[in-house]
Structure 1
């Protein structure tokens, strides 16, 4: 057996990777394993060294059994570092065999600690290579990283590529890490929904998240932020993995203090993560509310960050505790400012966030939005914006604010606002029509304003026909009943043959797409004067009789109004005729 004190050969004697591995396995490690059991000083530490050296010997032997290890640059690059560490350990073992402890006990102890730390890193890197299976595949000889898989790549190819990238991230130099991240970004960008789940499953996401730390190299941190952002926004599975592996806290740090491009990537990832209510609660744990509000302010220097941060605030505003925190941190003023100064996306998100605060935050928050000028800003946005989605979002916020007595009074007296509602009910999207009709239901305009809205009654009747959602049928019916309180509107609707025909067809018990209580309520309002005869002539009485027999609310009363009026008319006509024909 080689003596523990036998010195290792010089570097010149070890030329090729194969020679290096052979020397480590068959010469250096056996010597060190014996030395670790022979030292007289720091015996406990050397017992630990013996355990780690045994693991190293076993791992290197496993790697050597793969015929492809010489083609793996990560393993080949690792060998000289392992050789250097083992030579240092051999020197330390010689010092520990000398009872006089040359150079002193404290220095020797420090050198042993350093060697132990470096040896642990080598074991980690070697374990990573073995677990990844990369040593059993033959990579391209000229590639710094494996070639980027093409569209037809198999899942096995993608898994191998992901494992290779993450191995290089953890083992390679800064340059190699940068190249690996660049390849990772190219892979994810080529087909995010398909590839992000593979990367999230096969890659080491906790390590990628650690690269977001402020202590990481700035170039690596920026690339890692881009990769995490892509993973967070690409699919549900990869977004969950990013959250579960602790990315939200580091992302908030980057949003708060990163470069402009990194802040945009962090903001995009945070918006995607908080879109899942199961994740949104964690925002408070990382102090995220004030960071998001600060990112929305006009001085944030990035319209994209403003819009994304407003989107995150919109996402978390559905949670009671976070809604309260938003109000306390001054979110209302910032969101109101975004309604006019932000991009279209920022305006949409700000309007939806104000809607959530107003509808779920109670009277105090609604009053603060009105007091700070939120209602006027929303009305201005509604008038000026040409995007249908932004119109609908602004209208939803106005609808929520209309529960405030002060807002309701201001809105109910605005002729221009109701003219706009009329236009939206006539030409808006289905969602906008429903919201506009809901606003009409919440307010109490005067008869003059109701008369001015007669032009949207046909559109409201058409809304009643929509089978889904039933909420649209309900608000359309309620809005029509409100408008039909004015006699001139009842006359106008009764003259609209298409609308009357639609109403009667909706009364037909065989038409099961519409809840009968809604058209019945409209017919009852229409029959209160001016429209009885037209409804009767269109055949409503037959359907109402069946609905009354089925005890549909309001059907019996509507039938009595229409049929009773008709009977009165017939009796009156008969009396007049008998008077004319009676002999004098």
Structure 2
């Protein structure tokens, strides 16, 4: 048997020694007398190894690859061990240490051989042996073509799977460098690299630094695009990430939470949170995690809150008070996602609305909407949540009686973006607001008229009209709107059948509201502005409410009189 060889030997020398020992070992497997079945299996592996070594020697640049500087000595050591064991199996003498120990030694050596064959085949398939100094390729620059990047990715994943700890660490550093420099390369990494092996590196049994780098790479891949997320999910990454979120260190939990939120952003993946037992893990992360972890964990909950099978599990695990606490104490991003989550749950039915109201969620939402530091996006989600909760009589009563809240809705109608204006107007229209509060926000009426002019959305026009109709039940507001010549002229213009951008039923509703009851001079001003002619035409077109508004405007005179006068 050859003496044990170290990595100091040149690669060609190592290959020659391996070839010699392999030849002896193949012959020896024919003459064994014990454990014959195991040796037959080993002979098949050795034959496969012989073929791989032949392919290796045919690669002109194989000796320049540093991975082989560690693989070949290890392979030689395993073959030498097997040759020694084959001699014992060929002998009639008893086994030193007994048969059980010998069998164990043989199984261990056979397993090592399988690993070496796998690594060698991986090197051959990767193509890295066909390029000089493949293992120390420079990082592809911005001008590199796809072929160069693909080759570099193959090299990275070869190092990950074949190399030792140092090779793995450097390969992961290069992988992170690629992903951080250009996230567009994530799809290529996911398709060309062995993502399944990368996910295996998330296991707790791996070295901490290797594991941390792997989690970082997975987090970036998950956050990059739909394609890389899909590949990660199909390889089973969600279970590993949830385990890290539950028991990992704080930095690992943060990266895992980022990845989980990204993956659950795909509606087709949400169900798996329940399958992996992740509901309680996410809620606990919201309760006790760092600010980063909380922000992304509540984002993941938001993503799955609409999944029917998960809703009840969320409620049973106590998600509502945890999310409401983030409304009060979370980061701005966490508040936004928590408000969105509450809006989703509140729209799910009475059960969730009652839970949110019991936990004082409505009060927290009302406080947040009046916080000057809240962004438009937060306010939008808060308004959606409040709107869903307002279906409840008790919530509607609280909202209607809050002067501060009503005034803030008026300010949002005046100064908010169109989404905030529409939701605020809809809330105003649906709440039973006191006359005093309606008068307090009379200054937003001109903004409501402008909403009615919007050609973009019928919903926006309707919200503006219904809110105006509600405010115009107060005589003071009628007088105020009638005095606003600009707004009054806009209303009359909207009645014109030639003005096609506006659904005519909405300005008709508002004019009718202006004319109802004691109208404070509104009738005279509308007549002077020419509303009568437009209403006559709309009545002939049978627009809903036009005939009634015309009768009020004309003082119940015969419409024919107006028609004759206008014709003349």
Query: Displacement of 1:472 after TM fit?
Result: 2.1
**Is residue 240 of structure 2 the alignment partner of residue 250 of structure 1?**
yes
**Is residue 269 of structure 2 the alignment partner of residue 279 of structure 1?**
yes
**Is residue 365 of structure 2 the alignment partner of residue 374 of structure 1?**
no
Choose which of 150, 156, 172 in structure 2 pairs with 1:165: 156
Q: Distance in 1 between matches of 2:56 and 2:527?
A: 92
Q: Distance in 1 between matches of 2:92 and 2:331?
A: 75
**Is residue 289 of structure 2 the alignment partner of residue 296 of structure 1?**
no
Q: Distance in 2 between matches of 1:284 and 1:421?
A: 39
Residue equivalent to 2:206: 216
Residue equivalent to 1:506: 494
Which string of whole-angstrom CA distances, capped at 9 and with x for unpartnered residues, describes residues 339-380 of structure 1? 2211111211211111111111x2222122222211111111
Choose which of 102, 115, 121 in structure 1 pairs with 2:115: 121
Choose which of 320, 330, 334 in structure 1 pairs with 2:308: 320
Residue equivalent to 1:347: 335
Which string of whole-angstrom CA distances, capped at 9 and with x for unpartnered residues, describes residues 290-343 of structure 1? 11111112x43x111111111111111112232222222111111221122111
Worse-matched range after superposition: 129-138 or 220-229: 129-138
Q: Distance in 1 between matches of 2:530 and 2:147?
A: 69
Residue equivalent to 2:87: 94
**TM-score when normalising by structure 2:** 0.92
Query: Displacement of 1:94 after TM fit?
Result: 1.3
Change (3 A) 1:497 1:171: same
Residue equivalent to 2:350: 363
- Correspondence list, 1:183-202, <5 A: 183-192=174-183, 194-202=184-192
Query: Displacement of 1:30 after TM fit?
Result: 2.6
Change (3 A) 1:46 1:408: same
Which string of whole-angstrom CA distances, capped at 9 and with x for unpartnered residues, describes residues 529-549 of structure 1? 453443444444444445444
**Is residue 304 of structure 2 the alignment partner of residue 310 of structure 1?**
no
**Is residue 134 of structure 2 the alignment partner of residue 147 of structure 1?**
no
Q: Distance in 1 between matches of 2:338 and 2:53?
A: 58
Which string of whole-angstrom CA distances, capped at 9 and with x for unpartnered residues, describes residues 121-162 of structure 1? 11211121122211112236xxx6432221112111211111
Query: Displacement of 1:561 after TM fit?
Result: 3.4
Asked if structure 2 preserves the Cα contact closer than 8 Å seen for 1:185 and 1:226, the reply is yes
**TM-score when normalising by structure 1:** 0.90
Q: Distance in 1 between matches of 2:256 and 2:397?
A: 43
**Is residue 257 of structure 2 the alignment partner of residue 263 of structure 1?**
no
Residue equivalent to 2:471: 483
Asked if structure 1 preserves the Cα contact closer than 8 Å seen for 2:551 and 2:557, the reply is no
Query: Displacement of 1:108 after TM fit?
Result: 2.0
Aligned residues, how many?
A: 558
Change (3 A) 1:105 1:336: same
Change (3 A) 1:114 1:460: same
Choose which of 38, 43, 46 in structure 1 pairs with 2:31: 38
Worse-matched range after superposition: 463-472 or 418-427: 463-472
Asked if structure 1 preserves the Cα contact closer than 8 Å seen for 2:190 and 2:228, the reply is yes
Q: Which runs of 5+ in 2 are unaligned?
A: none
Change (3 A) 1:52 1:457: same
Asked if structure 1 preserves the Cα contact closer than 8 Å seen for 2:7 and 2:70, the reply is no
Q: Distance in 1 between matches of 2:223 and 2:6?
A: 52
Which string of whole-angstrom CA distances, capped at 9 and with x for unpartnered residues, describes residues 425-479 of structure 1? 1001222111211211221112222222211111111112223343222222221
Asked if structure 2 preserves the Cα contact closer than 8 Å seen for 1:209 and 1:228, the reply is yes
Change (3 A) 1:467 1:122: farther
Q: Distance in 2 between matches of 1:10 and 1:175?
A: 24
Change (3 A) 1:405 1:145: farther
Change (3 A) 1:550 1:210: farther
Change (3 A) 1:10 1:303: closer
- Correspondence list, 1:495-574, <5 A: 495-528=483-516, 529=519, 530-563=521-554
Residue equivalent to 1:179: 170
Query: Displacement of 1:9 after TM fit?
Result: 6.6
Asked if structure 1 preserves the Cα contact closer than 8 Å seen for 2:11 and 2:68, the reply is no
Q: Secondary structure at the match of 1:278?
A: coil
Residue equivalent to 1:468: 456
Query: Displacement of 1:550 after TM fit?
Result: 4.2
Which string of whole-angstrom CA distances, capped at 9 and with x for unpartnered residues, describes residues 228-277 of structure 1? 11111111211222212111111111111111111110111111111121
**Is residue 66 of structure 2 the alignment partner of residue 73 of structure 1?**
yes
Asked if structure 2 preserves the Cα contact closer than 8 Å seen for 1:145 and 1:165, the reply is no
Choose which of 103, 106, 109 in structure 2 pairs with 1:112: 106
Residue equivalent to 2:53: 60
Q: Which runs of 5+ in 1 are unaligned?
A: 1-6, 575-584
> Cα RMSD (Å) of the superposition?
2.4
